[in-house]
């Protein structure tokens, strides 16, 4: 009815594209996870990710979407947020979780991430959060102005603060990642015994830590010695069933373990509660509750807020205490 409506609409289309300060790179997990994005079903996106039986009825559409992801080989924006003066964007790589584990897909995935990094650089983003170590991109493009952050130091800080006070020993089990090595080192330095079940994992940790383990790194065949388990991607169902009743499973990986035991406790993947100042949060990040954000995503925001210009990728780590204090200062709270 208003005569200015058409003009306003036309002018809004002519505005310059918004330049992000922070870009979070993510990817699809399962074929039906595309429905949990904002442009999928809003009702699904507003709740933590879970598999629903009625999504099987959409398999023809799901298969078509998988074909499109193979054709459309570029990242796309799935979420825009604001935090004080920062403009935040989440970009999705059109690849599924299983493709990250296939050797023949490695080059394709790396090329997509590299293109996303360069695109963020071109758009003037000041921080980019990667879900891989990312060192290869820094070496290949040493002139990068965008800061690459893998979030490992904040993940370690959150894990250390998730372990119940008074704990004297923990069991470490799963694929040994950068985060796993750093957590094991920090726990040994705190005087907490780190028990490892597999001999090959013990040898890798012992070689990495050396005398820094303070004698707190041990190997054991017993599953019942620890009530706190730090677990990664390679945790088997058989190993879960051997845990004592009341065991607390704390994942250090980006994917949570399957909840098999009703008599045990399962912590979320490393994440924190977001401040109320974070705007436009109307969907859930994967399996996390509303307004809860993964540490890998928070880390990029922290770097931009604090003006940290050093990369946190490859095998480099930021100061864990400094990152944790900065996180609390800006209103992020532990779960």
pLDDT at 29 over 80: no
Burial 228-262 (b: 16+ CB within 10 A, else e): bbbbbeebeeebbeebeeebbbbbbbbebbeeebe
For residues 195 and 291, what is the distance between their CA atoms, to the nearest angstrom? Answer: 34
Range in 87-96, 168-177, 245-254 with the lowest mean pLDDT: 87-96
The structure tokens 């989440």 sit at 90
- Are the CB atoms for 214 and 188 separated by under 8 Å? yes
Report whether pLDDT(72) > 50. Answer: yes
Q: What is the pLDDT of residue 332?
A: 97
- Average pLDDT of 38-64? 80
Highest mean pLDDT among 7-16, 50-59, 294-303: 294-303
Question: Nearest-5° angle of CA 43, CA 290, CA 155?
Answer: 135
Q: Please state the φ and ψ torsions of residue 221, each to the nearest 5 degrees.
A: -100, -5
Q: Retrieve residue 201's tokens.
A: 């994992």
Q: CATH: 3.40.309.10, 1.20.140.10, 3.40.50.720, 3.40.109.10. Which one for 153-271? A: 3.40.50.720
- pLDDT for residue 212 is more than 90: no
pLDDT band at 298 (very low <50, low <70, confident <90, very high): very high
Output the pLDDT for position 101: 64
* Domain layout of the chain by residue ranges: 21-151+279-319, 153-271
pLDDT tens digits, 93-129:
887 766 666 666 667 666 777 777 777 766 666 555 5
Whether 67 shows a pLDDT value over 60: the answer reads yes
* 131: confidence class by pLDDT, cuts 50, 70, 90: very low
The per-residue pLDDT for 134 is 66
Pick from 7-16, 157-166, 316-325: least confident: 7-16
């Amino acid at each position: 009815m208003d005569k200015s409506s058409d003009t306003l609409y036309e002018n809004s289309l002519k505005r310059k594209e918004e330049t992000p300060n922070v870009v979070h790179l993510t990817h699809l997990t399962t074929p039906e996870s595309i429905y949990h994005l904002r442009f999928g079903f809003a009702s699904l996106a507003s709740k933590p990710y879970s598999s629903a039986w009625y999504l099987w009825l959409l398999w023809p559409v799901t298969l078509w979407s998988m074909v499109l992801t193979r054709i459309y080989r570029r990242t796309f924006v799935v979420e825009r947020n604001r935090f004080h003066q920062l403009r935040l964007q989440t970009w999705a790589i059109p690849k599924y979780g299983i493709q990250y584990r296939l050797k023949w897909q490695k080059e394709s995935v790396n090329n997509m991430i590299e293109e996303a990094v360069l695109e963020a650089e071109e758009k003037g983003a000041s921080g980019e959060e990667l879900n891989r170590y990312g060192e290869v991109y820094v070496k290949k493009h040493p002139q990068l102005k965008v800061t690459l952050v893998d979030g490992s130091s904040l993940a370690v800080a959150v894990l250390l603060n998730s372990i119940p006070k008074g704990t004297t020993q923990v069991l470490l089990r799963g694929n040994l990642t950068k985060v796993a090595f750093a957590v094991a080192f920090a726990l040994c330095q705190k005087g907490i015994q780190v028990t490892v079940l597999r001999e090959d994992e013990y040898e890798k940790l012992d070689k990495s830590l050396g005398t820094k383990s303070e004698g707190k790194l041990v190997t054991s065949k017993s599953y019942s010695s620890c009530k706190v388990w730090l677990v990664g991607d390679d945790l088997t169902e058989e190993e879960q069933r051997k845990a004592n009743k009341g065991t607390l499973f704390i994942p250090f990986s980006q994917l949570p373990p399957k909840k098999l035991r009703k008599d045990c406790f399962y912590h979320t993947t490393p994440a924190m509660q977001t401040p109320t100042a974070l705007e436009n949060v109307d969907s859930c990040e994967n399996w996390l509750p509303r307004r809860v954000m993964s540490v890998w995503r928070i880390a990029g925001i922290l770097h931009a807020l604090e003006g940290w210009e050093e990369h946190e990728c490859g095998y480099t780590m930021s100061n864990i205490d400094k990152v944790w204090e900065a996180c609390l200062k800006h209103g992020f709270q532990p779960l």
